[in-house]
Amino acid sequence: MSTDVVAPAPAEAVEVSPEEGGAPVRADGPAGLRAVARELGPVAALTALAGLLPVAALPGEYVLLPDDVPPPGDWAQVGEVASDTGPLLVWRAPRAGAARQVAEAHDAAAPAVADAAPAAGEAATGAADAAPVAGETAATRAADAAWRIGVAWVRAGLCERLTDRAVERLRGRTLGGTATVNLPPVRLVLADAALAHLEAQALLGGAAARDAAPDGGASISGVSLARVTAVLDRSSRAVHNLFGASGFVDGEPARLARTIDLLGHAGGTLPGGTAGREGHDA
């Protein structure tokens, strides 16, 4: 079963107020979310995402939203994540059956789907190829996929933000008189992070699919999204470790790293054959 979906349509530019003064930052389509995330952090980036696309999730699945971005319909709040730029609320979409109304509400706003959207496999049941659950329409699946790809752009920018912060810190630390940032093993981590950021950007930009697709269309497959999630997971964990113990106390680096991690957990793969992303990219 194909898991290809069209990249979220570049909607009109979204303006987000920066954290402290300065000119508003524009996100020109999903790719622009990366810069917002890098410069302004998760709250601004997810606000911008919600301005570009309708908030979406499959029945029973999860999204993280700033507290002034309302989820659709009768979603349940299941938690809160303290990001480095403010709280994010964790919402669960109504489970199968209760979701039809929400899906219908999305039908008008969701971007078009190139191929049948991914199967809604519930990982916990072990059904790798489950049929779509009741209440799940093609439009819901397309909206969900578009949202996840937007989240992946946000994560890509947040990973760069984390790396920038780590570099700042390690420029100011020394080991045997050498700046820690200049230690070869630290540089290797930074190089790997840079490679991860480049790969994520290329995949999210549809580079892989453009070459593969006969019509040259910019679609992003479920496999590509899973790969993006895996490389960002791995690199953000390695970069997080660069903070040493300072990244283990409740402060900005720890909050940013946790946000990256949980955004990936909630929306890093498309259901259906992409579960268990870790280990496939080794």
Partner 1 sequence: MTTVDLVALRDHLRPVGAALREHALAIDADPGALHTLLDSGVLPYRQLGGFPPGYLDDPLRVRGVPVHVRTCVERAVVAETLAWGDASVVVGAPGPSMSGIVVDDLADDEQRDRFYRRVAEPRTWTFFGLTEPDRGSDAAALETAVVELPGGPDDGSAPGHGSPRTVLRGHKKYVGNVARASLGVVFARHRPGPLGVGVYLVDTDRPGFDAAPLVLTGMRSIQLGEVRLRDVPLRPEDTLGRHLSPSRRGLLGAVRTFNRLRPVVASLAVGVTQAALDYVRAERSSFTADERWRLETFDDRLHAARALVLQAARAADDDPADGTLPAAAKAAALDLAEEVTHAVPPLLGPGARWEHPYLDKLVRDVPGLEMMEGTRTVQRLTLAQGWLQGRARHAELV
Ligand X SMILES: Cc1cc2nc3c(=O)[nH]c(=O)nc-3n(C[C@H](O)[C@H](O)[C@H](O)COP(=O)(O)OP(=O)(O)OC[C@H]3O[C@@H](n4cnc5c(N)ncnc54)[C@H](O)[C@@H]3O)c2cc1C
The answer to whether 188 contacts ligand X (rule: CB under 6 A) is no
The answer to whether 89 contacts ligand X (rule: CB under 6 A) is no
Site string for partner 1, 52-91 (x = CB under 8 A): --------xxx---------------xx----------x-
Q: Is 86 exposed, middle or buried (0-12, 13-18, 19+ CB in 10 A)?
A: middle
DSSP states along 186-226: HHHHHHHHHHHHHHHHHHHTTHHHHHHSTT---EE-HHHHH
**Which of 9, 248, 276, 281 forms a contact with ligand X (CB under 6 A)?**
248
Stretch near ligand X under the rule CB under 6 A, chosen from 46-54, 88-96, 97-105, 240-248: 240-248
Q: Which does 109 bind (CB under 5 to 8 A by kind): ligand X, partner 1, none?
A: none
Six-digit token pair at 3?
A: 């898991």
- The amino acid occupying position 185 is P
Stretch near partner 1 under the rule CB under 8 A, chosen from 10-18, 65-73, 191-199, 259-267: 259-267
Cα separation, 116 vs 138, whole angstroms: 7
The answer to whether 96 contacts ligand X (rule: CB under 6 A) is no
Q: Is 187 left (phi over 0), alpha (psi -120 to 50) or beta?
A: alpha
Q: How many residues bind ligand X (CB under 6 A)?
A: 11
The answer to whether 265 contacts partner 1 (rule: CB under 8 A) is yes
- CA 233 to chain centroid: 10
The answer to whether 185 contacts ligand X (rule: CB under 6 A) is yes
